Amino acid sequence: MRIGTIVAGAIYIGALVVAGLLLWQTVEMSRTLIALSANASTPTPVPTPMPTAAPLLVLPTPIPPTPLPTTAPPQPETFGYHPKSGRYIAVWLPPNFTGDARESFFANVDIIDDISPFWYTTDASGRLYGQRDDDLVRIAHENNIRIIPSIHNVGNPGVVVPVLTNPQLRARHIQNIVDEVLARGYDGIDIDYEALDPSLRDDFTAFIIDLAAALHAHNKLLTVAVHAKDRDNGGLGAFQDWRAIGPHVDQLRIMTYDYHWRGSGPGPVAPAYWIEAVANYAREVVDPAKVLIGVHFYGYDWPPNGNATARPWRVIEEIINEYQPTVSFIERNARGRVGESTFTYRTSVGTRTVWFMTDTGLADKITTVQKLDLAGIAIWQLGYERPEYWQTVRTNLVQDS
């Protein structure tokens, strides 16, 4: 009996303590609300995002971005899209939409179909890093141009190996890509994973097939930049199985340049005989309506010893004007048609050698596209060119319908 009385008393005292605590908490909350109300007339301003490119860490975006202005034309249909000319004209852009690239874009906006700004990289966990430019997205869509940003591993090829080989990381990477495409209003994504070991062939194929399915489920495009090769296991492109990924991608953009490259000796960057061999192989294993031939708008400048430097036409023209070299057009060599120009010039460190594309060589590449009935051309990169290149494109490709 005494024990029951003691227990009842303890329960009563505990109830009083709890009631007191609740009363104190209520008073404190009231004080807080009064203080907030007193400051309500001067809220802290929220900064407005600016539509300019800026570095960022990109994670899956659960909240859609601010919609484009309602006055802008509707976005072009991704599937069933018809190129402005008889063939597709795709261009890669530098990360920042400024200078020569911006000027070239607006000068040729009437014939460009797809743009791929070089915005994104990834890390070993599958997250995306890079830049965004909502203004460029808006401008592209206003001009009926599809925007398909590139994700690349240039500068750090091995970073994508864990993403490709680990199914969980691969799935996360794919989800991050799809989330970014949907959140930013892109028309698709361009994958540019280069210089990987041939042992990753099956992993790369699985990644492309899974990514294509995920993007196509949302009516978005997948384009893939691949190393040029004229046989299945050739060169740097041995890890890319064109026959396996071809049915799943929307464009296979073949990088038909760097036949001679920074680390090689001087020579043509993209000889015509090589491009034709690559294009013929591509046509055998991939639907020609998906194949775009890469066109280089740059040249290489080799020192007497060491690696070459890539030069846009503007710099090559400055070298020609300063040193007045004899420029030779090489129509053919022992292996076949070449279609590039070369010259040498002397500096304080010795004789340097330059090779670059000509209008004639560009016309020859377009002829290959037409003869093999391929989808079009992919240009690396906008702003590197001499203006006459675009006139060659207009004369030879745009009129091809």
Q: Longest C-alpha distance within the chain, in Å?
A: 118
pLDDT (average), residues 320-327:
98
Task: Say what percent of the chain tops pLDDT 90.
Answer: 76
pLDDT tens column, 248-292:
999 999 999 999 999 999 999 999 999 999 999 999 999 999 999
80 — pLDDT class (breaks 50, 70, 90)? low
pLDDT for res 399: 72
| Interatomic CA distance for residues 275 and 122, integer angstroms | 31
Higher pLDDT, 234 or 162: 162
Angle at 40 between CA 38 and CA 43, to 5 degrees: 135
For the cut 50, the answer to whether the pLDDT of residue 312 exceeds it is yes
pLDDT at 100: 95
pLDDT band at 400 (very low <50, low <70, confident <90, very high): low
| Per-residue pLDDT tens over the stretch 164-220 | 999 999 999 999 999 999 999 999 999 999 999 999 999 999 999 999 999 999 999
Q: Please indicate whether residue 359 or residue 401 has the higher confidence score (pLDDT).
A: 359
pLDDT for position 30: 39
Q: What is the CATH number of domain 83-297+358-398?
A: 3.20.20.80
Q: In the prediction, which pLDDT does 234 show?
A: 82
Judged against a pLDDT cut of 60, whether residue 5 lies above it is answered with no
Percent of the chain with pLDDT strictly greater than 70 = 79
Which has the minimum average pLDDT: 65-74, 119-128, 229-238, 359-368? 65-74
The model's pLDDT over 355-373, given as tens digits with 9 standing for 90+, comes to 999 999 999 999 999 999 9
What per-residue confidence (pLDDT) applies to 398? 86
Is 152 exposed, middle or buried (CB count within 10 Å of its CB: 0-12, 13-18, 19+)? buried
- pLDDT of 16 reads 40
Secondary-structure breakdown of the chain: helix, strand, coil percentages, each rounded to the nearest 5? 40, 25, 35
DSSP helix/strand/coil, 338: strand
Strand ranges, E, within 251-290:
251-255
Domain residue ranges in the chain: 83-297+358-398
What was the pLDDT predicted at 86?
A: 82
3-class DSSP state for residue 302? Answer: strand
- Identity at 173, one-letter amino acid code: H
**Nearby residues of 146 by Cβ (< 8 Å), 6 or more positions away:** 76, 78, 81, 113, 114, 115, 140, 187, 188, 221
What is the arrangement of strands in the sheet containing 376-380, beginning at the earlier edge strand?
A: 54-58, 128-132, 120-122, 150-152, 188-192, 221-227, 251-255, 291-296, 376-380, 88-93, 114-117, 146-147
What pLDDT score was predicted for residue 81? 64
Taking the C-alpha atoms of residue 117 and residue 55, their distance in angstroms, rounded to an integer, is 14
Question: Which band of pLDDT confidence, cut at 50, 70 and 90, is reported for residue 85?
Answer: confident
Q: Identify residue 201 by its one-letter amino acid code.
A: R
Q: Are 165 and 203 in contact (CB under 8 A)?
A: yes
Residue 130's pLDDT is 94
Q: Average pLDDT for residues 128-142, to the nearest whole number? A: 96
Average of per-residue pLDDT values in the chain: 85
What pLDDT, on the 0 to 100 scale, is given for residue 244?
A: 99
